[in-house]
Amino acid sequence: MNIHETDDYASVNINQGMTLTEKIIAKASNRTHVSPGEVLFVNVDVLMSHDPCTPGVASVFKKEFGEEAKVWDPDRFIMIPDHFVYSADPQANQNIRVMREFATAQNITHFYDVGTPDYKGVCHIGLAEGGHTRPGEVLLGTDSHTVTAGAFGTFAIGVGITDGAYALGTGEIPLMVPATIKVNYFGKKAKSVQAKDLILVLMKELGVEGATYNAIEFTGNVIDELSVEERMTMCNMVVECGAKNGIMVPNQATLDYLATRTRIPYTVVTPDEDAQYVRTIDIDVSSLTSVIARPHSPDNVVSVAQLENIAISQAYIGSCTGGKTDDFIAAAEILWQRKVTIPTYAVPATKEVFHNLITMQVKGRSVYEILTRAGVKLSSEPGCAACCGGPADTFGRVRDPISVISTTNRNFVGRMGNKGAMIYLASPYAVAAAAVSGFITNPERYLTNDY
């Protein structure tokens, strides 16, 4: 693998082209041109909030706009409980009760309430499944991983409670235009290399602060060839290096996906040929193998070969980053006719993903059957679960100071529960391989050309 970087940023004037992010912001602010560093008001197309933050958003909204105030558009405020939905914890349950009361009072169109047929699961995947992630639009969410929607050519960012409440009342948000880092992935990647490996390699290059308040624009033949869900994985983790958002031009697979999800018209935006980037990073994936992020930071990345034979006590497959259908299919390829040797927990991101595990097959068996026969503890209750630790009764929560390998996005101290746990971040292939061997293992050992 080779990484080459150029610094081709120059002072921007109105005659110069715009990046993908800049063009969407210009459109949303009724401007013909915007430049990095400008502060302006941007119209919001979609606002999302989940159970940890909706009570705060609702409280600030009522305080600032009045107890009887109405949201700017009940059809564009998407409410999705997902973080602490299957728990006896009183505070977790109270948060969801507040969501229900607010949704009823405001006649919210899209409230995907837990325990109902409408429930989805992890908000970032649920947004896509519900057709709320459309190219050329501005999407805000009260969660940092809202950036996932950049895979659809959406300018998608996480915001705090106060900004969320302001957008809820006005339909706009003040925003500073970010400069853009262009990242070009090219070459032919090995089958064992997944999107998680690709983004971890970039994490290593940039570090946790290397893209602070920058947009990251993904391009190159490797990005074009990725599935919709793998592209979501790429954008999902840009926040781990401080980026404002991640974004890419939708490929044909993405457009086909959207055609089955939404009938709302949208416009695919592309960057100008003479767009100016603060940095350009070229990554040749031809010699890349699986990589792992060691404790306790997502940028502490090394080749799997450097960590082989490190004992692992627990494995976890799930989250907005690693709990999608593609992620479970990958795990099933490793686990087919094999058994896990360590406790392995799996949580589908959404109800739709869980349904797919039952209906989709790998080598003549359903993914569900492969995982359960292998000894995986597979939850039928979708959500964030142990990715963010959660209450004591959270499924898969790390309770002891052990070594864990996970498809999630963060491995900070205490992130998945016990503060003494050592969390390794890896692709679904690598997590499944470790689950089988009990050690960090190169997944190439278990992959063949039969799939």
- 3-state class (DSSP) for residue 143: coil
Say what the pLDDT of residue 9 is.
Answer: 52
| Cα–Cα distance measured from residue 262 to residue 129, given in angstroms and rounded to the nearest whole number | 9
Q: Which residue has the tokens 């009361």?
A: 101
Model confidence at 12, pLDDT cuts 50, 70, 90, reads very low
pLDDT at residue 10, rounded to an integer: 46
Does residue 434 carry a pLDDT above 60? yes
pLDDT on residue 309 = 87
Provide long-range contacts, Cβ within 8 A and 24+ apart, for 113-117: 113/81, 114/81, 114/85, 114/86
Q: E strands of 285-413, at which residues?
A: 291-293, 301-303, 314-317, 344-346, 361-362, 365-366, 377-378, 403-406
- d(Cα 248, Cα 236) in Å, to the nearest integer? 12
How many Cα atoms sit within 13 Å of 196 on the Cβ side? 33
Please calculate the CA angle 177-178-183 and round it to the nearest 5 degrees. Answer: 145
More confident residue, 26 or 8: 26
Of 213, 221, 275, nearest in space to 245 by CA: 213
- The β-bridge relationship of strands 314-317 and 344-346 is parallel
pLDDT of 140 higher than 60: yes
Residue 430 clears pLDDT 50, i.e. is over it: yes
* Residue 408: both structure tokens together: 């999630």
Tokens 């940890």 correspond to 52
Nearest in space to 441 (alpha carbons), one of 300, 432, 195, 450:
432
Under a CB-based contact definition with an 8 Å cutoff, are residues 113 and 82 in contact?
A: no
CA 250 to chain centre: 16
Look at 197-201, 243-247, 344-348, 391-395 and tell me which has the smallest mean pLDDT. Answer: 391-395
Structure tokens, 83: 């973080």
Q: Break the chain down into helix, strand, coil percent, rounded to 5.
A: 35, 20, 45
User: Of 272, 47, 208, which Cα lies nearest the Cα of 142?
Assistant: 47
The sign of the dihedral angle between the CA atoms of 163, 164, 169, 174 is positive
Q: What is the rounded average pLDDT for all residues in the chain?
A: 95
Share of the chain above pLDDT 70, in %: 96
Alpha carbons within 13 angstroms on the beta-carbon side of residue 78 total 29
Q: pLDDT-based confidence at 449, cuts 50/70/90?
A: very low
Dist CA 68 CA 181 (whole Å): 43
State how far the Cα of 242 lies from the Cα of 356, in Å rounded to an integer. Answer: 33
Tell which residue, 237, 210, 385, has the closest CA to residue 298: 237
CB contact at 8 A, 185 and 220? yes
Beta bridge partners of 314: 404
The pLDDT assigned to 3 comes to 74
In whole angstroms, what is the distance from residue 438 CA to residue 324 CA?
A: 23
More confident call, 449 vs 364: 364
Counting residues of the chain whose pLDDT is more than 90, the rounded percentage is: 94
Per-residue confidence (pLDDT) for residue 14, from 0 to 100: 57
pLDDT, average across residues 383-404: 94
Whose tokens are 């070229």? That residue is: 282
Measured from the Cβ of residue 278, the count of other Cβ atoms closer than 10 Å reads 18
Place of tokens 């969407």: 24
CA distance 256 to 19: 24
Q: Interior CA angle at 201 toward 199 and 204, to 5°?
A: 110
In degrees, rounded to 5, the angle at the alpha carbon of residue 378 between the alpha carbons of residues 443 and 260 is 85
- E strand or H helix that includes residue 95: helix 90-106
The predicted pLDDT at position 16 comes to 86
389 touches 305 (CB < 8 A): no
Give the pLDDT mean for 95-118: 96
325-335 and 351-359 helices, crossing angle to 10°:
40
pLDDT score recorded for residue 182: 98
Task: Write down the residue that tokens 């998945």 correspond to.
Answer: 416
Task: Find where tokens 């914890």 sit.
Answer: 89
pLDDT tens for 300-339 read 999 999 999 899 999 999 999 999 999 999 999 999 999 9
Residue 13's pLDDT is 54
